[in-house]
Structure 1
Amino acid sequence: MTVAATNAGGPVAARADEIWKVYGTGEAQVVALRGVSAEFGRGRFTAIMGPSGSGKSTLMHCLAGLDTVDKGTVHIGGTEISKLGDKALTRLRRDRIGFIFQQFNLLPTLSAAENIRLPLDIAGRKPDQAWWDTVIDTVGLRDRLSHRPNQLSGGQQQRVACARALVGRPDVIFADEPTGNLDSRSGAEVLGFLRDSVREHEQTIVMVTHDPVAASYADRVVFLADGAIVDELADPTAETVLDTMKRLDTYTEPVTL
């Protein structure tokens, strides 16, 4: 059975249509995604979950234009990114997509403010001052802007990374295990910030996580198993997410391509 994860009405920020991704050939072949269709609504917080090897990170990388698909199409807004050349895809990622990674990916020689502004500087754009102030106050780092990453806690570094992703007002932010390197308190602060950025500022976030508590901050959870979407939850709690994950641990499906 293939399940299509659909947005419950409203505009769509990102969409996958019947995408396949295969690595290797012959006996070493791995089918990472098989006919996945999913929509991610604008102004919504969606978590992607699944057992190890289910394809959740591959799906996010394909949606974000970090990896190519073998079959099917991917759209960001009204743009089909699966047909873009390298230069156009680089511009799209720079101007319309934000990224938050588990490892923070901050430049150690730059201050927090400089790290936050970096994508805009690369694009030759200046931050909108009112939006800059909103982002800085939302992440609560105004008194840390002159500090370098090694002078910040892990939670503060990840909030810098969140601000960097937000400051350009991208169409969608992709977050890959954003709390994976944080303690529970710092993780809750970052997740609360992401949730508030969706509710208060209509940001769109797609987050890959293995943590049911992290997923409970989202509006919706999409579940993958063996390269296919097999379930989804609206208004998740940590308990309902955990129950679903337990069912997926034994999920298998034959592969055809």
Structure 2
Amino acid sequence: MCETSANRSFEGVQSAAAAKSLTKTYGAGDTAVSALRGVTVDFPAGTFTAIMGPSGSGKSTLMHCLAGLDRADGGEVHVGGQEITALPDRELTRVRRDRVGFVFQSFNLVPTLTALRNILLPLDLAGRKADRDLLSTVVRSLGVHDRLHHRPSELSGGQQQRVAIARALVTRPDVLFADEPTGALDSATASTLLSFLRTSCRDLGQTIVMVTHDPLAAAFADRALVLSDGRIVGDIGGPTPDSVLSAMRSLVS
């Protein structure tokens, strides 16, 4: 089908996030569903990975466990070299706040705050000051530098999504998790957004893990993982729309 080593070697590159023998089951007895079946995978720092698979394949569950939004039943999750699987809730919350960035299809902006205050909100909650140089670089690269004093209702959908990405990036997370970030965007805006995500890996050293159903979106990544029935069945280096489509089609052939 495609290259299947989910631990492709990136010599000399530190891991930003990793899973080892990860398992997750929902329900019990006859209704039990195994969402993850012993998944082992590494996400080297400064790389952009797309996670794909049909509905029910486990791609969202994998992302949620890696990000500390859900707890696995077995195995280990590491973020920035720290094992987080068995952390108490308070410490896990701190990891999510300080070491992980999130971008969702729903922008989750606070409607009463300006774009700038939304971007700075995670830092404010953590009692940290913004790196003004990084803030300037991010908002200019995303094209929202002239919209910082507007509230979300005064921004287009694409501008709101870019503000949400800026909010995730200014905390300098070990890894940024993006869940269908282009699902609510038109094709031109989605392409601009994905180009910036790719650039943030190459120029800012940001690590990005993106769940998507779109082969065109996956082609912006350095690699595409393909999941089926809770297992990684493909690891495509330098994905193209055709190689991703071929991998997806093989799952139903």
With structure 1 as the length reference, what TM-score do the two structures score?
A: 0.95
- Confirm whether residue 241 of structure 1 aligns to residue 237 of structure 2: no
What's 1:66 paired with? 69
CA displacement at 1:103 relative to structure 2: 0.5
1:184 alignment partner in structure 2:
187
Q: How does 1:53-202 map to 2 (within 5 A)?
A: 53-202=56-205
TM-score normalised according to structure 2 size: 0.96
Match of 1:8 in 2: 9
Paired letter, 1:33 = L
Answering whether residue 32 of structure 2 is matched by residue 29 of structure 1, we say yes
Quote the offset at 1:29 in angstroms. Answer: 0.6
Structure 2 portions without partners, runs of 5+: none
1:212 aligns with 2:215: yes
Measure how far apart 1:4 and its partner are: 5.1
Runs of 5+ in structure 1 lacking a partner? 251-257
Q: CA RMSD in A?
A: 0.9
Q: Secondary structure at 1:16's aligned position in 2?
A: strand
Query: 1:109 and 1:7 mapped to 2: Cα distance?
Result: 45
The percentage of aligned residue pairs carrying the same residue is 60
SS in 1 for 2:37: strand
The alpha-carbon deviation at position 83 of structure 1 amounts to 1.7
After superposing on structure 2, the runs of 4+ consecutive aligned residues of structure 1 that deviate more than 2 Å are none
Q: Is the 8 A contact 1:51 1:249 kept in 2?
A: no
* Amino acid paired to 1:61: H
- Figure out how many residues of one structure are paired with residues of the other and give that number: 248
Please state whether the residue corresponding to 1:82 is helix, strand or coil.
coil
SS in 2 for 1:99: strand
1 CA distance for matches of 2:192 and 2:121? 23
| Distance in 1 of aligned mates of 2:197 and 2:98 | 20
Question: What SS does the corresponding residue of 2:85 show, helix, strand or coil?
Answer: helix
**Kept in 2: contact 1:155–1:189 (CA 8 A):** no
- Equivalent residue of 1:142, what SS? coil
Deviations 1:120-155 (A, max 9, x none): 000011101111111111111111001111111111
8 Å CA contact 1:68–1:82 kept in 2: the answer is: yes
* Cα pair distance change 1:135/1:40, threshold 3 Å: same
Which residue of the other structure, out of 38, 41, 61, is the alignment partner of 1:38? 41
Shift of 1:249: 2.9
